[in-house]
Structure 1
Amino acid sequence: MTTVTAFAPVLTAENHALKRDFPSKPFAIRHRLAGHPLLNLPRIAQLASELPRDLIEYNSGKVAISQDPDAIPSVDLDPVEVVKRIETAGAWMVLKRVENAPEYRKLLKDTLLSVARARGFNSLLDAGFEQVEGFIFVSSPNSTTPFHLDSEDNFFVQIHGEKYFTIYDNNDRAIVSDEEIERSMTKHRNLKYDERFASRGIEFHMFAGDGCYVPYQWPHWVRTADSHSISMAITWKTREVRRVNDLHFFNSMLRGIGLPQQPPGRQPVRDALKLAFYRTVIAAIRPLRGSLAMRRVLRRIALGKRANYYLKGA
């Protein structure tokens, strides 16, 4: 039987999953965010009209589990129309970094604070919940999110519709190699999927009010059922996660100029030197990121010509 933890935004532990498995293993959760006024289609359409365009990604939902990122079919609608017509649009969409809107930032932090308190902490920082971000997913019926991994920890909550969420152990390098992890974080998130992996997955079958905890870099793929779906990922990055992410990004940049690198953790002294240099450079260019045009340029320089794949004409 799948273990379940509940939060409402105030989380109450119905079992020991939160203490036993967090943050190393996935587990099911329950929540009461379904029906929240910030998470219905009209309000999400409004949010889509307000967010910077490079924080909205969408394409056809008719894709393969092991989807070639260079062959993803597009949807010829603007973001607001995708949301309004999601039942028939045949689309998959994510609105990124929704914490940029104050109401959503409060919702995310209030929800995570309930988790922190359930674990015996008085604040998000005490619990290690740093760099809190939110991602809202809107998908048409029978859509697929291809096999991929994410560079943060995540409470994934189902708001509307039915969804199947299948997760795989990130320590199994037979499923995802170190090289694929780096590439998925810095080029395109999609990973190669083999049907022989199927028996190794943990599937969560979710309806409104359900969800799951997705640990850092655990690969997964997702599919919806016969109605449109609204979901939200409530994410955060610990200090250690930020360190490993920065090393992956810098390693990718060095690899791009012909200097292959060992994965994070293999050479601790060299990792420390690379991290110090990379963070100094990032701090120097951070003020430039206020401009959408400059963000495009910086992504292209750091991550290659496909870095802006979700922006038309990028």
Structure 2
Amino acid sequence: MFTLPRLAELAKSLLANTSTRSVRWQAGGAPVDAGWAVPLNHKVESVNEAISNLAESGSWVLLYSVQRDPEYRALLDQLMTEILADTGCSRDEVTWEDAYIFLASPDAVTPYHIDHEATFLFQIHGNRTANIWDANDRSILPDNEIEKYYAGDLNAAKYTIEKQSKAAVYALNQGTGVHHPSKAPHAFKNGDIYSIALGIHFCVRDCDREAAIYQMNYLLRRCGMKPTTPGKSAWRDKLKTSIIGLFADKNPKTKHDMLRSGFTRLIAPLRLVLK
């Protein structure tokens, strides 16, 4: 399931599904502070070439939602069952789950960023160095960066050289893995051979509620107010999540709909007022 020919075949089938963005391939030589502004790799003409020649193509390739293929669906189900059993998390608390495969050429860099979802990453081939920061350390991840992220700026979390000394550094080799919790900043650097990794990531209700609080705080700050941070006032937190919930999709079909539909509908008239 994780040989390059099989993954090239998987990428082709995912690309055939034009209803959603399933495949991304870009240059692997971006600096750690590049965010998601990674340039396209003009040395390769197709994702098939990037994967088939991964050792030489200078690329990284991200295959999203690989569980659309039944073989990988079974793997996601198996791993989610094991992860939930090991962590004590109830499946009723899981609001979204997904599996992705990340392929990267030697020395490729995954720039510093944060994700809403919690991730368990499994190194299948090659070796990488994982840098993971504490999401609860506001000297690393201040509230304004979190608010901007949940308002839609995926590059809101900024890397600085001063933060490097606070990273937990893990050596990932074939057969090992690492966990980065919701919002934990992370960055990776490949070793001298190509890398294949499987990521299992999922959202839970507590983190979703906290995201709504940060979204309301972003809106309140835009209006000149100084909102309280999540966890400081239970009734304010409940009010904020209720307001976002009024506007959110009741039956979201994607993670974006689940996480940002309420905020998107709420901010549209506010932008007009502020303008």
Q: Which category describes the TM-score, using the shorter chain as reference length? A: 0.7 to 0.9
Q: Distance in 2 between matches of 1:251 and 1:57?
A: 32
Equivalent runs, 1:209-248 vs 2, <5 Å: 209-248=175-214
Residue 114 in structure 1 maps to residue 77 in structure 2: no
Please tell me the residue identity of whatever aligns with 1:62: G
Task: Tell me which of 135, 141, 145 is aligned to 1:170.
Answer: 135
1-structure distance, mates of 2:230, 2:68: 30
Aligned to 2:34: 67
Match in the other structure for 1:44 = 7
- C-alpha displacement at 1:254, in angstroms? 6.5
Contact preservation (8 Å) 2:145, 2:156: no
C-alpha separation between the residues in 2 aligned to 1:60 and 1:281? 38
Tell whether the 8 Å contact from 1:99 to 1:105 is kept in structure 2 after alignment: yes
In 2, Cα distance between the equivalents of 1:254 and 1:101?
Answer: 43
Query: 1:90: which partner in 2?
Result: 58
Check whether the contact 2:67–2:98 (CA below 8 A) recurs between aligned residues: yes
Shift of residue 106, structure 1, vs aligned partner: 2.0
Distance 1:65 1:83 in 2: 22
122, 137, 151: which one aligns with 2:116: 151
Structure 1, gaps ≥5 residues long: 1-36, 305-314
Taking structure 1 as the reference length, the TM-score comes to 0.69
Distance 1:214 1:257 in 2: 33
- CA–CA distance in structure 2, aligned partners of residues 191 and 253 of structure 1: 18
Q: 1:279 and 1:83, CA in 2 relative to 1: closer, same or farther beyond 3 A?
A: farther
Find the aligned partners of 1:255 and 1:91 in 2 and give their Cα distance. Answer: 40
Q: Do structure 1's residue 141 and structure 2's residue 109 form an aligned pair?
A: no
| AA of the residue aligned to 2:51 | V
Q: Which amino acid aligns with 1:42?
A: P
Between 1:276-285 and 1:180-189, the stretch displaced more is 276-285
Give the C-alpha shift of residue 210 in structure 1. 0.7
Q: 2:271 maps to which residue?
A: none
Root-mean-square deviation (CA, aligned residues, Å) is 3.3
> What SS does the corresponding residue of 1:170 show, helix, strand or coil?
coil
SS in 2 for 1:264: coil
Alignment of 1:1-314 (within 5 A): 37=1, 39-51=2-14, 52=18, 54-67=21-34, 69-70=36-37, 72-76=38-42, 77-118=45-86, 125=91, 128-185=93-150, 186-189=152-155, 191-249=157-215, 251-252=217-218, 262-283=228-249, 286=252
Give how far 1:258 is off: 7.5
Structure 1 residues 284 and 155, CA gap change in structure 2 (3 angstroms) = closer
Going from structure 1 to structure 2, the CA distance change for 1:247 and 1:54 (only over 3 Å counts) comes to farther
The count of corresponding residues between Structure 1 and Structure 2 is: 256
Secondary structure of residue in 2 paired with 1:158:
strand
What per-residue deviation string (whole Å, max 9, x for no partner) do you get for residues 31-50 of structure 1?
xxxxxx2x222222222223
Greater mean alpha carbon deviation, residues 275-284 or residues 155-164: 275-284
**Structure 2 vs 1, CA of residues 274 and 117 (structure 1 numbering), >3 Å: closer, same or farther?**
closer
Q: Percent identity?
A: 27
1:112–1:277 distance in 2 versus 1, CA, 3 Å: same
How far apart are residue 252 of structure 1 and its match?
4.7
Separation in 1, partners of 2:47, 2:251: 29
What do residues 107-134 of structure 1 show as CA deviations (whole Å, max 9, x unaligned)? 1120121233446x6x9526x4442211
- C-alpha displacement of 1:177: 0.8
**In 2, are the aligned partners of 1:66 and 1:190 still within 8 Å (CA)?**
no
The residue that corresponds to 1:9 in the other structure is none
- Identify the residue that residue 23 of structure 1 maps to in structure 2: none
CA offset digits 1:117-163 (Å, max 9, x no partner)? 446x6x9526x444221121111111111111111211110011111
